[in-house]
Each structure stands twice: as structure tokens, then as C-alpha cells.
Structure 1
């Protein structure tokens, strides 16, 4: 009898171990797809895992990241609002939740924008409190303070305060933020110099897109076009602007230059890549 009980117990342990290993492999395979930037496929995998393990915070966070990269912002918000209730100590989850709120703001009505902006600020503040040494987290909070209007929590002074901390933590990550602060202060030559230095130091998709956007706002269209085309030839990650956005910006530049054929071609290229709903609406209004 004792031998039978022992054997049954052993089988249970082995079976449990096998299942745990299989689940671990599934998670690792999904993460591998994410790291390979196969975001839509990764989202399908993480969704399947999430349905089996809805309380697994790592799965929820990866599912949300994949959803963000795929443009499914509502899914990212839905998943992470539950995840941070399960584990309120995860600064990385609050960070992704803040990004998800940011992406949904253009999609909601005017009356709801304030509420979503406040949720975004709350998530970013929680992320910084829980992960104060994470540069990406602090950069996102600074970006909020720079982009939000004052009545929704925006503050140039708060942005500068956190920028000073960022310069101590990661001086090589401050170019875009430094340039944005200088632009907001209307110090345009200084802002352009910082944006250019960022591209010279690290020619990343984010840095190239940011310089192109700045030059576009200053109506330096020729170089902006060249940089947006360079961005489109890159392989942006889940935190970077989407290629649909690059084509959208080109469409706006060509439109401003009265180049109707080129503008239409760029807008249609953006539509083919499934841009955000607000962007799609803007494009359809122009075609």
C-alpha cells in the first residue's frame, strides 16, 4: 500500500513538473517571438497563455506590450488594469499601462480625454515610484509633463525636475527630452542642435523620428522627408513610433507642399499598415 501511495505521489510530482516545464517553454517561446518583433504573432501566443493563467502578471505585461505594438491599445489597458490590482508593486506594468493610456487619448471624446490623461499621469507616477532607476519610465513621465496641457497635469517645471534626475542616471538618454524642453521654451537653434546630437550619438528609430518631427514643425521639409524615409527603412521596436506614423507624417509634409500625388501615396501606405484609429480618420478625411 505504501509503495502504491509513493508511486502515485511520484507520478503526480512528475506530471506537475512536466506541465510547469511545458508552460515555461510556451512562455519562453512567446517571449522569443516578442524579442524577434513578431508582435502580432506574439500577441496571439500571450493571449492563449493569459486565458489559461489570467493571474500571471508576467504574461499579462507581455500581452499588453504585444498589444501596444500591434495597435490594440484597448486590450493593453484592459489587461494591465487587472494586472496591477493583482500585483501593485510592478513598476514595469504601471509603465506599460501609462503608455497604453497615452495611446488611447486621441481615440476618446473630448470629455473623456481629461480622465484618461489623469489615469496616465497616475500610472507613470506609480511607475517612477516603484522603478526610480528605470530611464524609460522617467522619460515617459517627463514626456507627459511636456505634452499635457496645464489643466490636465502638464508642467514644464516638473519636466525639468525629472530631467535633472535623468541626466544624473542616464546622460546618454536625454537628447529627445532636452530638445523637447528647449523647443517648448522656443529656443529653436539650441533645440535643433540637441536633436541632431542625439542622432549623431545614437541613430535609433526614436532619435531619427524625433529629429524629423522637429524639422517638420520648423518647416525644414526637405531634410524631414529624408529622415522619415530613413526611419521607414529601420526596424522600430514596440516602444518606438510605428511605420504607419512615419508615412502619415510624410503625407502631411507633401500635403503642405501641395504635392497631391505624393501625399496620397504616403497616406495610402500608412493605411496599409493599419494606423491608429484617429490617424486613419485623419487620412480618410484627406483622401
Structure 2
């Protein structure tokens, strides 16, 4: 999916309704909590017994799919979400996440397999919308599909705009970001920036709007302005962990304000885990990037290893560690 950092931030920071029914046992509830804290291996260990029981626990099955997708394992994620759909074929959320799993697989597949997976991706998103016209995440998935797919497979900027308009009808806030994403995809950076800044102006109390603007500015390498946006968040909310993480991430990407980025990530990692914050494995990886830019290769390697201890399949951390050797 394009702009994964922005999409992830919005999913973390927007108030999203529960996607599955309440966990059915303390063990499953504990697994869901571990997932939300980014402790994926521990969550998987907690959820697997319930997911493989007869009959399987649908919540455990669903979250094992979420864990696999968070680890960028589209094949395993699809296996779990296919089971989730088999358990409840009327679940819009299960179809939406299955579409995301197929989309992740398609990005890594060969050309022949890619076509079939792309069709399945679109079909699952469309099924999710048919079951629940208010499933904005599924509509957002369709926007991604229409922007990425070639014309002979149904790709169309106009179709993406139609979905953005449907989102706008239901949620002006989310619709603004959908339109910004389309503008950015079409290289209309002025239009994209206008949309992000209009969201900040229209929703001045929304941290999500500010984060989206800051992440956009980071993406287009306007790092000083990005730091300023995240600083404005921390000035009003000094304990905002997402703000600390974004300071660290921006430093890691830009090579600027490295000492500050280091301290921000250390503070983030030292805080008790909270829901709706980036996962610790990612923060350790970013801290390793900061150390590497500071020339502290031993410390960088240590952080990459900590990241991989939390998520052994974290591809970016693996690549970073391999480059140091």
C-alpha cells in the first residue's frame, strides 16, 4: 500500500470501532492486549491455543491474522483471515482484512500470481463495503487498489475519487485525508499539502491531523517543518508518546537533531506500553538507525538485535543489521 506510514498513523490515532466481538476468554483477552502493545510473539503464543481449538475462537483467529500482517507475512495472514471469513462470512471487517492480506501477498508475488491476488484483493474490499457501507477502511483499501492497479485490471483515478467522495460523505475528517492521498499519488503536492493543512485548520484539536501533516512533510523531506509540527504536539501534550516517536523517526530518516532523536526514542521505549502507539520493535529499529548515523555501530547493532528479539521476522531490522556486518 502506498504511504504506509500515514495509513498506519491514521489507523492508530483515529477512533476506530471494534472490528470483532469481545474476546471470549481471559487468555484471548491477554493475547489481544499483547498485540495492542506490539508484543507480537507473546501475543501469538497466547492466542494460538484458542485459535487452534475445536471449535476455534474467532477473535483469536482474527488477531493471529493481524499479527501475521503486522509482520508483513501476507500468506500466513490470508490463511487466518480466510478462516475468520469461514467462521463469519457476514463480517465486513474480516473481509476487509483478508483483502489487505491478499494485497500484501500481491506485492511480493510473481506477475502471474499477482494478477489473481490483485483481483481477490479488490473482491474482498468490495465485499466488505457491500456488507457495511460505512466500513471506511475497506473504502480506503479500494482507493489504494484503484491508484496502484493498471487500467486493464480496473485501476482508475476516477474510481479512487469516487471512494474518497463516499468517505467524505460519512466522515469529513477521513475524507480530507483520502483526497490528500490521491493528490499526492498524482504528484499534486501543492494540493496534498493544502488538504493536510485544511484538516489541521478544520480540526484544531485533532492530533491525528497534525500527525498526518508532519508525516507528509517528512515524506517529502521537509524535515525542519516536520520537526516543528511534532514540536507543536509535544508543547501541548508533553507525554504524547506518538510525538516522541515521530521526533525519533524524523531524526533517523533525516540525520538531523540526532541527539534529540536518540533521547526521544529512549523515552518512548522506557514508558509503559500503551495502546495506539508504534510497536517497540519499530522504535528499537529507529534508534538503531540514529546510532548508525551517529557512527555508533555497536550500539546500532544492539538495537537492531533488540528489535529482532521482539519480532524475528522484521525484514527492515534484518537488512539494517546485515549491512553493519
Larger RCO: 1 or 2 (CA < 8 Å, sep 6+): 2
- Say whether 1:215 aligns with 2:217: yes
SS of residue in 1 equivalent to 2:25: helix
Contact 1:80 1:93 in 2 (8 A): yes
Q: Deviations over 1:144-189 (max 9, x none)?
A: 3233443444321111111111111111222331211122333322
Contact 1:54 1:60 in 2 (8 A): no
- How has the CA–CA distance of structure 1 residues 138 and 185 changed in structure 2, closer, same or farther, with 3 Å as cutoff? same
- In structure 1, how many angstroms separate the alpha carbons of the residues matched to 2:284 and 2:33? 26
- How has the CA–CA distance of structure 1 residues 107 and 54 changed in structure 2, closer, same or farther, with 3 Å as cutoff? farther
Contact 1:179 1:191 in 2 (8 A): yes
- In structure 2, how many angstroms separate the alpha carbons of the residues matched to 1:265 and 1:197? 41
Contact 2:85 2:91 in 1 (8 A): yes
Q: Deviations over 1:206-253 (max 9, x none)?
A: 963x54553345342444577542666596749x799639967x96x9
Counterparts of residues 15-54 of structure 1 (less than 5 Å): 24-53=25-54
- In structure 1, how many angstroms separate the alpha carbons of the residues matched to 2:77 and 2:104? 10
- In structure 2, how many angstroms separate the alpha carbons of the residues matched to 1:39 and 1:267? 21
Q: Deviations over 1:73-106 (max 9, x none)?
A: 4322111123323432111111111222233344
Aligned pairs, number: 258
- In structure 1, how many angstroms separate the alpha carbons of the residues matched to 2:132 and 2:300? 40
SS of residue in 2 equivalent to 1:88: coil
TM-score for the superposition, normalised by structure 1: 0.68
Gaps of 5+ in 1: 1-22
- In structure 2, how many angstroms separate the alpha carbons of the residues matched to 1:95 and 1:82? 13
- In structure 1, how many angstroms separate the alpha carbons of the residues matched to 2:210 and 2:142? 18
Aligned pair partner of 1:203 in 192, 207, 232:
207
Counterparts of residues 263-278 of structure 1 (less than 5 Å): 272-274=306-308
Contact 2:284 2:303 in 1 (8 A): no
Shift of 1:203: 2.2
Shift of 1:61: 1.2
- How has the CA–CA distance of structure 1 residues 94 and 265 changed in structure 2, closer, same or farther, with 3 Å as cutoff? farther
TM-score for the superposition, normalised by structure 2: 0.62
Partner of 2:247: 229
**Deviating more after overlay: 221-230 vs 138-147:** 221-230
Counterparts of residues 152-231 of structure 1 (less than 5 Å): 152-198=153-199, 202-204=206-208, 208=211, 210-224=212-226, 228-229=246-247
- In structure 2, how many angstroms separate the alpha carbons of the residues matched to 1:111 and 1:158? 24
Partner of 2:235: none
Contact 2:71 2:314 in 1 (8 A): no
Contact 1:146 1:156 in 2 (8 A): yes
Q: Deviations over 1:10-43 (max 9, x none)?
A: xxxxxxxxxxxxx634333433444555443222
Shift of 1:137: 2.4
- In structure 1, how many angstroms separate the alpha carbons of the residues matched to 2:284 and 2:158? 31
- How has the CA–CA distance of structure 1 residues 212 and 245 changed in structure 2, closer, same or farther, with 3 Å as cutoff? farther
Gaps of 5+ in 2: 1-23, 231-245, 250-264
- Say whether 1:118 aligns with 2:106: no
- In structure 1, how many angstroms separate the alpha carbons of the residues matched to 2:159 and 2:302? 39
- How has the CA–CA distance of structure 1 residues 128 and 60 changed in structure 2, closer, same or farther, with 3 Å as cutoff? same
